[in-house]
Amino acid sequence: MAFGVQLVPNGVIKYVYPFEENKAALNLDVLNSATTSKEALKAIERHKIYFAGPLQLKQGGVGIVGRLPVFIENEFWGFSGVIIKLERLIRNSGISNFEENYRFQLSKVNPVSGKEEFFLEGAEDINLAETEKITIEDGDWNIYISSLNEHEAFNATLPVLILGFLLACVCATITVLVFKRPGELQQLVEVQTGKLLTSELKFKAIFDQAGLGIVHLTADHGKFIEVNKRFCDKLMLTASELKERNFFEFIEGDAALDKNLLEHQKVEVKLIRNDGMPIYVRLTNSPFSSKKGLSYITIVEDITEKKKTRQHLKELKTRMEMAIRVSKLAYWEWNVETDEITWSARMYEIFGVSKDQELGSSLVLSHVYPKDLKKYKRYTKRLLEGDTLKPYEVRIHNTNGGIIYILAHVESEINEKGKVIKLKGSLLDVSKEKRAEKELNHSYKLVLEQNKRLLNFSYIISHNLRSHSSNIQALLNLLGSTSVDEEQKEMLNMLTSVSKSLDETLYDLNDVVNIQKNTTISTEPLLVKKYVDRVLSVLSSQIRSKKVKITLAIPEEAKINFNPAYFESILLNFISNAIRYRHPERIPEITIRFEIEEELKKLSIQDNGIGIDLSKYGEKLFGMYKTFTDHPDSRGMGLFMSKSQLEVLGGKVSVESEVGKGSTFTLYFK
Amino acid sequence: MEFCVIDDDKIYQFLVKKTIKSVDKNFIVNLFEDGLEAITTFKNKGICCTIILLDLNMPNMDGWQFIQEYEKLQQIGDQKHKIYIATSSISKADREKANQFKIVQGYLTKPITKEKIKDLATAV
């Protein structure tokens, strides 16, 4: 008789049977649908079955729905419902047997509209005043019976009829609720069991084959209810061996004493394997309650490797940080894309920048020594292109104003696409070494210079002083052995001449020693033009008598830093040389020119004199007592002295010459 | 016996000539101002002397340069001539350098005394 059954958890139709005929009703929310909610709520209110309808069924036709509210622990769970098609109910009720003599009518007040609705044919014929009315509580139904023969007394039969009808109704209900349902439920159980079986197999497979250890533990003692293979392998024990022990036995440390260990959803502990080796695991505990009481499903994840790696990384990091700190290493990283810069503490010290200063490439650039900026940019560009560079030197000035020599080791970090994403490296403050090196170089030069002068000194002693003294000795010898007055007189004249030469040589010696002594000769800015003019005026009588043409190309304001006495002596020497070694067949022309070339100041003295054969004398030109002409005034000291004076003050001299055409001496000043 | 004195020191020239003559009046002394003058004369007129007293420090062509030029001449001529360095230099370096030339017979330091000349003359 039932058209279908349904399960309505939370008032929403979720399960129907038979499925095909009733699927249209699925997902109907009976508690919230206008046509059904009132009667559904009535069922809940009454805690009893209530027959709703007749109503238009979603699945077609008119029917009544009996809803049995289900309560679990006094909480409304939903309905268990039965659908009966009205047409079938009436047919089965046996009412038709009475139709010859009586007329029946079934009515109900529509819960929505509030109007009484009649469900049997011929409602318009019935005379309600002459009918008997019976109300059925379980659905607020009204049953009307009236006799077709008006005057026939039907009072006597009436109770029987009503009873019959009611019985029919109740029978139908019972049949549906009691007999029909178990069958269907049985079927459902079978379906569900099948499903469960599949799920359990699946679960079993997951449990056994899982890459993680999974154990099922009792809550109180941590006894193993079930363990998977992975866990057994981890502890190097079999499942049966494990089942005789409890989980806490394997835990080392304080965690073993923690009674509530399993209550932590996630916790890391150290387990001791069967062979005594420790492993680190992370437990994920899920409580699981069943009839047998509370237990825990615990996932055991081996984090030994992770922990080792983490520990290793941590150690590496600490070691690196310590190394950077102890070695006072200036380490830096520059993220090329974001311009983010990371510095070790030492970097801040070197740059003289406070730690709260915001770092960026512009800050670094602003510290690079201007003269090294080009070089720095060139190197950086190459690094950004992925080149590897040898350590290079660059100067920076720190905020305290000092210049610092830096030795930079830099590497570029390249991502998988081959793009340079980071530059990183270390700096070494090599200022001390650099200064020491400079000083050493300076000392070396000084020693070399002094050595040279010492050689010159010994040269003067051995050649010049000795030549005079030997002459005096020889003269005295001869003087003693000769008796001729005239010869004696001649020799005495010679002695005078030798003593004069001796005096000159002593002066030279004095000059040489003086240059050697005064390694710190004071310098001052000198107007070049002023000094040249002064020397020319000293030489003016010679210039006039020899008709020398002098051309000057010296800016009025041109200055050099030099010692005034030296400068005068040098000018005098070179200009007088230019006059002295003039060409006998030409009017002497001397051009004195001042120029600045790459920060070096140049003063050149050009003549059109006899010239010097440099291939022959080049090396010796500036040597002491080197004379290359028979000129009576050349003693071989001038060029030597001038060169020494220039060199002592960081300058130098060079010469260009061609025999018969002239010479140009160029003096370079620092 | 013929001496060649190559030295730019006029006083020395005078003194050494006197000293040589005092040993033997018949000794001939040729004087040259520097190496260049001597080598030019030797080239033109041939090497005329037995003993050469050579100074080191001279303008135009010094003693060392003279020796090099002289060695070239020596290969042509077949006469034996003895070169002595006669210098005021007592520097060890000069003495050692002189020893490197096989042609140099000895190293004399000024003043050149009578005794030294006598030694040279007897060694010939």
A437 CB-side CA count, 13 A: 6
- Return d(Cα B38, Cα B50) in angstroms, integer: 14
Q: Which of A463, A469, A634 sits opposite B89 (nearest CB)?
A: A463
pLDDT, tens only, A645-669? 888 888 889 999 999 999 999 999 9
Residue A179: per-residue pLDDT: 47
- Name residue, tokens 């070179």: A574
Residue contacts between A and B (CB atoms, under 8 Å): 67
Interface ipTM: 0.84
The yes-or-no verdict on residue A150 having pLDDT over 60 is: no
Average pLDDT of the segment spanning A117-124: 64
Q: Looking at beta carbons, which residues of chain A come within 8 Å of B60?
A: 628-630
Cβ distance of A628 and B15 shorter than 8 Å: no
For residue A626, give the chain B residue with the closest CA: B59
Q: Which residues of B touch A470 (CB under 8 A)?
A: 12, 88, 109-111
A624, closest residue in chain B (CA to CA): B57
The mean per-residue pLDDT over the stretch A37-41 comes to 81
Question: Do B111 and A630 count as a contact with CB atoms less than 8 A apart?
Answer: no
Torsion of Cα atoms, B27 then B33 then B39 then B40, to 10°: -110
Shortest alpha-carbon distance between residue B96 and chain A (Å): 15
CA atoms of A381 and B6, how far apart (whole Å): 69
What stretch of H or E contains A81? strand A75-85
Residue B111 to residue A634, Cβ atoms within 8 A: no
Among A358, A364, A357, A374, which residue's Cα sits nearest to residue A425?
A364
Q: What mean pLDDT comes out for the span A605-631?
A: 80
Out of A458, A478, A634, name the one closest to residue B15 (CB): A478
CATH code of the domain covering residue B114: 3.40.50.2300
Candidate from A462, A470, A627 with C-beta closest to B111: A470
B contacts of A636 (beta carbons < 8 Å): 59
- Interchain proximity A628–B110, CB inside 8 Å: no
User: What order of strands is seen across the sheet that includes strand A251-252?
Assistant: A224-227, A213-218, A293-302, A278-290, A266-272, A251-252
Name which of B9, B14, B113 is nearest A467 (Cβ-Cβ): B9
For A186-203, the DSSP string reads: HHHHHHHHHHHHHHHHHH
CB contact (8 A) between residue B88 and residue A478: no
Alpha helices (H) in A223-332, listed in sequence order: 229-235, 239-242, 304-326
Residue with the larger pLDDT of the pair A170 and A589? A589
Q: Given this model, what pLDDT does residue A132 score?
A: 66
Residues of B with CB under 8 A from a CB of A: 9, 11-12, 14-16, 18-19, 22, 33, 56-57, 59-60, 87-91, 94, 109-113
Instruction: Measure CA of the first residue to CA of the last residue in chain B; give whole Å.
Output: 9
Q: Is the dihedral of CA A465, A471, A473, A476 positive or negative?
A: negative
Closest-CA residue of A relative to B11 is A494
- Going by C-alpha positions, the residue among A135, A133, A148, A144 that lies closest to residue A99 is A148
Of A467, A625, A629, the CB nearest to B110: A467
Residue of B nearest to A457 (CA): B91
Lowest mean pLDDT segment, chosen from A445-459, A491-505, A552-566: A445-459
Domain count, chain B: 1
Say yes or no for a CB contact (<8 Å) between B90 and A627.
no
pLDDT value of residue A452: 79
* Domain span at B70: 2-122
B29-74 tens-digit pLDDT: 999 998 999 999 988 887 778 899 999 988 788 899 999 888 888 6
* pLDDT > 80? residue A4: no
Q: Does B110 contact A466 at a Cβ distance shorter than 8 Å? A: yes
Which residue, among A507, A523, A519, has the nearest Cα to A450 in the 3D structure? Answer: A519
Query: What SS3 state is found at A358?
Result: coil
The segment with the largest mean pLDDT, out of A4-18, A159-173, A411-425, is A411-425
Closest CB from B57, B59, B88 relative to A630: B59
Of the partner residues A477, A494, A625, the one whose CB lies closest to the CB of residue B11: A494
Distance from CA of A505 to the nearest CA of B (A): 14
| Residues in chain B within 8 Å Cβ distance of A466 | 88-90, 109-110
Lowest mean pLDDT among A117-121, A164-168, A275-279, A569-573: A164-168
Residue A60: is its pLDDT beyond 80? no
Distance between CA atoms of residues B26 and B94, nearest Å: 33
> Shortest CB distance from A628 goes to which of B18, B60, B88?
B60
Distance from CA of A369 to the nearest CA of B (A): 50
> Nearest-CA residue of chain A relative to B33?
A630
Give ∠ CA A269-A273-A279 in degrees, rounded to 5: 40
Cβ-Cβ contacts under 8 Å, B59 against chain A? 627-630, 634, 636
Average pLDDT, chain A: 82
